[in-house]
Amino acid sequence: MNEVIKKRYEFVILFDVENGNPNGDPDAGNMPRIDPETGHGIVTDVCLKRKIRNYVDVVKQGADGYNIYVREGAILNRQHEKAYIANNIDPKDEKTARAKVKDLTKFMCDNFFDIRAFGAVMTTEVNCGQVRGPVQINFARSIDPIVQQEVTITRMAVTNEKDADKKGNEMGRKHIVPYALYRAEGYISAHLAEKVTGFTEEDLELLWEGLINMFDHDHSAARGKMATRRLIVFEHSSMLGNAPAHKLFESVKVKRIDSSKPVRSYSDYNVIIDRSLLPEGVNLIEKL
């Protein structure tokens, strides 16, 4: 399980939201992100990676090799300093640091799961190099256009005594999507795992767990009900792969059952996998 992965993978993940905001846009008053030309909803790769990081943090509890580099409240230069201490290098000794940057980068890859998976730019004041991770995820896009709703809510309490003389409650707003099913696609490079970060078979299994369970540890009033519905994995028989990724993705189609009414649940869709499109050397695995 600790061996570096030897095969290339791609995957398709389907997840949904009910009466929640899956990924607010701070440039639009935190309304759900949307493609203005098509009306389809968007969830960024950064948002999905954040949830995977949080899941790993919950499961591993800071175990050796499974620290999280980009975490809430983290000061990245202090994370880098751990590599300097481990290699007996003074952070102010830039000449020695440049000479041993590979050792510093290796320490960061060995000790932080998210660097090993997603890579990181660590060329700040305390330089630990830069790595491109083997795991990359596209923006998720909703299957159908979404409806952004702004719902007015009330709080039966006021903030201070001055407000109490004027009113008996506070008004607020929540931004929700009544229902949407999203699709994201991802890539895992065995070449980058071997040559750069050392992403292992154990890391891979943890990634699959994270993709399946990430929403169960991320519930909040703002996000409503979110869940991973399907995780479909394409496993190649070699490191370089046996087919173009886009051809594999085309074998998974999501169809709306009844277009005459708005969708309000996962059962309003059919997920169709055309296995006849799979070339020799590619194994399709339904993780969920």
What is the pTM for the complete model shown?
0.92
Nearest to 117 by CA among 162, 50, 29, 178: 50
pLDDT at 124: 86
Mean pLDDT in order along the chain per 10 residues (288 residues): 92 97 92 96 97 97 94 92 95 91 96 97 93 97 93 76 69 88 98 97 98 94 94 97 96 96 96 95 96
Helix (H) or strand (E) holding 230: strand 225-236
Provide φ and ψ at 118, rounded to 5°: -100, -10
Find all residues with CB under 8 Å of 263, minimum gap 6, and list them: 144, 179, 180, 181, 256, 269
User: CB–CB of 59/103 below 8 Å?
Assistant: no
What Å distances lie between residue 116 and 195, 245, 262, 269, CA to CA?
A: 11, 22, 42, 35
Alpha helices in the chain (DSSP H): 45-60, 76-86, 94-99, 101-111, 113-118, 161-164, 190-192, 201-213, 245-249
pLDDT at 1: 60
Domain boundaries, the chain: 9-286
